[in-house]
Amino acid sequence: MGEQSIVCDTSLLLYLGRLKKAYILPDLYKRVCVPEKVVLELDAGRLLRSDTIDPRQIDRVKVVSVSQKQIDDLPPNKLGIGEQSVIAYATNQTNFVAGLDDRVARLFANQLGLEVVGMIGVLIKAKRVGLIPSVRPLLEEAQAQGFRMSIELHQVALRLAGEGTG
């Protein structure tokens, strides 16, 4: 388990859930937190797709409150409420990584000085510590499940995971 903690957005949990790998989060991070607004987004997702993950069912995951004031204290942005909640929570904690996949949200979080990791980064970290044997089949399955990534990002991810060709 690492020294850092993570606060997770909807996409990160959704795709780790579809890959049946959400259980790795508590093994990688000291604390795993999910804002209530993200839980609600996933609850709504279960109405459309019953296999959508419920973070309340993952061992050692804590559902956390983020006040409207904390969200309002963020610089002006057009992010969704889940992303705003993740960023607001991470900015008000010590040693928390923002678990975000959306490019605009990641850039915004970086501008606020937050460290960011997405689903791909979590998978690479899991492989490096021996929790999963390979990233390649998981990336392919994530894409089949609707996760979008460029060819270039796919190649970089494989290279960082030690599975690339150069």
DSSP string covering the chain: --S-EEEE-HHHHHHHHHTT-GGGHHHH-S-EEEEHHHHHHHHHHHHH-TT---GGGSTTEEEE---HHHHHTSPS----HHHHHHHHHHHTSSSEEEE---HHHHHHHHHTT--EE-HHHHHHHHHHTTSSS-SHHHHHHHHHTT----HHHHHHHHHHTT-S--
113: region left, alpha or beta (phi > 0 left; psi from -120 to 50 alpha): left
| Residue 166 belongs to some domain of the structure | no
42-81 pLDDT tens trace: 999 999 999 999 999 998 999 999 999 999 999 999 999 9
User: For 86-95, b where at least 16 C-beta lie within 10 A, e where not — what string?
Assistant: bbbbbbebee
130-156 pLDDT tens trace: 999 999 999 999 999 999 999 999 999
| Residue 119 belongs to some domain of the structure | yes
Candidates 102, 90, 95, 93; CA nearest to 41 is 102
Domain total of the chain:
1
| Residue 112 belongs to some domain of the structure | yes
| Residue 165 belongs to some domain of the structure | no
Candidates 87, 78, 65; CA nearest to 9 is 87
Mean of the per-residue pLDDT values of the chain: 94
Residue with tokens 């270039």, as numbered in its chain:
152
- Counting every residue, how long is the chain? 166
List the domain range (segments joined by +) for residue 29.
Answer: 5-160
pLDDT at 159: 94
- Is pLDDT at 88 greater than 80 in this prediction? yes
CA angle (46 as vertex; 39, 91 as ends), nearest 5: 20
**CATH number for the domain including 21?**
3.40.50.1010
pLDDT at 2: 66
| Rounded distance between C-alpha atoms, residue 149 and residue 166, angstroms | 19
pLDDT at 113: 96
